[in-house]
Amino acid sequence: MLLSTIRRLVTITVDGRELRVPDGSTILQALYAVGDTTQADTPVLCWAPNLTPVNACRVCVVEVEGSRALVPCCARKVEDGMQVRTNPERVRHSRRMVLELLASSVDLSQAGGDVQRWIASYGVDPQRYGPPVAPADDRDHRHAGHHHYPDGSTAETVAQPVKIDNELYVRDYSRCIMCYKCVKACGTDAQFTFAIAAAGRSFDIRIATEYNSELPESACVYCGNCIGVCPTGALKSVREHVLRESGQWDPAAETVTTTICSFCGVGCNLELHVQHGQIVNVTSPSDHGVTHGHLCIKGRFGFQHVQNLPNQTNTHTGTPE
């Protein structure tokens, strides 16, 4: 960043190679900045460039000399003389297992291309835990400290009904990996609305409003910043959800146009995601100095008027608008 403070450089050794990186950076930042191709492809799920690391997913673990357990490189700061190894067998094992445990319990089919690539390259085999259990409708009401003892014939998952309780976005928690990003974006990292929080415990942990009330009854202001940071498609706009459900979602045809939001004078950068002449989503780049990737309800959802023309048939969906 242009105006960041000038920092002392420290020397760390990564896989036998000495790297000079600014003091105060995380190991992950160092790998991204000066690592080789493999090191720069360190898998991350709960980390995002515009959020404080929560280091919950543990997929980015590396070995650090002097530390008995592996350490999450997204959160661990570099220290002078630190010895880091990114490729021992136990690192690969942990990464494979984290991806495997998630893939066996969560629907990752809408997670980004990186995730699919990591799943393939780390040799993940989610099938070995058995066939998935039938979707559950009681996940919002499970009590901490109690569960039905399984017989092991099926593998427990987080599969559950989709929550559609408002016109702007859906919550499909069958796809939720509990990365806490939405909670951070709703709370202290962006919006300071605190409409959602982690609730429950153990495998029955979930993202919830108070007493699982519907979003319109909650503190939600529909900024959609939770959608913006969700890595697996658990949170998405109703528009995207409808198109996907009707088989008309077409990411191959998507173009992205950069523009500036016209609703107020702040000047947020917008990226309009367009499929077949229709805006399907609006995002903002995470490295933008004003938005840091976060928007408000107007920027993210206030685009319908652009395509809400009278007496025109939507060529994409074939329905009159």
Partner 1 sequence: MDLRLSSAEPTAAEQDVVDTALSGMLATPTDNQPFTDTGHNARGRRHLLLPALHAVSDTVGWISPGALNYIARRLSVAPADVYGVATFYALFSTEPRAARVVHVCDDIVCSLAGGKAVATALTAENVCWLPSPCLGLCERAPAVLHQLAGEPDFSQAPATPAKVLVAARGGTDAATADQEFANARMSAPQSGRAGVRLLGRIGVIDPTSLDDYRAHGGYAALRRAIQLGPSRVIAEVRDSGLTGRGGAAFPTGVKWNGVATAPQRPHYLICNADESEPGTFKDRVLMELDPFGLIEAMTIAGYATGCEVGYLYIRGEYPLATRRIQAAIEIACRRGYLGSDVMGEGFAFDIELRRGAGAYICGEETALLNSIEGYRGEPRNKPPFPSVSGLFGKPTVINNVETLYNVLEILQIGGPHFAEIGAGRSTGTRLFCVSGAIAVPGVYEVAFGTTLRKLIELAGGVTGELRAVLLGGAAGGFVLPPQLDMPLTLEGAREIGATLGSGVVLVLSTAADIAGILRRIAAFFRDESCGQCVPCRVGTVRQEEALARLTRGAPRGSWETELVLLSDLAQVMQDASICGLGHTAPAAVQSALALGLLTAPPSPLSNGSTTVKVRP
List contacts with partner 1 (CB under 8 A): 55-59, 61, 69-70, 72, 75, 90, 93-94, 97-98, 101-102, 104-105, 128-130, 141, 143-147, 149-153, 155-156, 177-178, 187, 192-205, 208-211, 213, 217-219
| Structural element, H or E, at residue 98 | helix 89-105
How far apart are CB 132 and partner 1 at their closest, in Å? 12
- Residue 200 CB, nearest distance to partner 1 (Å)? 5
- Residue closer to partner 1 by CB (options 65, 217) is 217
Q: Which is nearer to partner 1, 211 or 315 (CB)?
A: 211
Tell me the two tokens of residue 5: 């403070």
Q: What is the DSSP letter of 134?
A: P
Sole residue written with tokens 């009159």: 320
Q: Is 62 or 261 the residue whose CB approaches partner 1 more closely?
A: 62
Q: How far is the CB of 80 from partner 1 (least distance, A)?
A: 15
Dihedral-angle region of residue 154 (phi above 0 means left; psi in -120 to 50 means alpha; beta otherwise): beta
DSSP states of 18-85? EEEEETT-BHHHHHHHH--HHHHT---SS--TTS-----S-TTEEEETT-SS-EETTTPBP-TT-EEE
Nearer to partner 1, 66 or 247 (CB): 66
Residue 263 has phi, psi (to 5 degrees) of -75, -30
Work out how close the CB of 176 gets to partner 1 at its nearest, in angstroms, rounded to a whole number.
Answer: 12
Alpha-carbon span 145 to 204, nearest angstrom:
10
Q: How far is the CB of 270 from partner 1 (least distance, A)?
A: 26
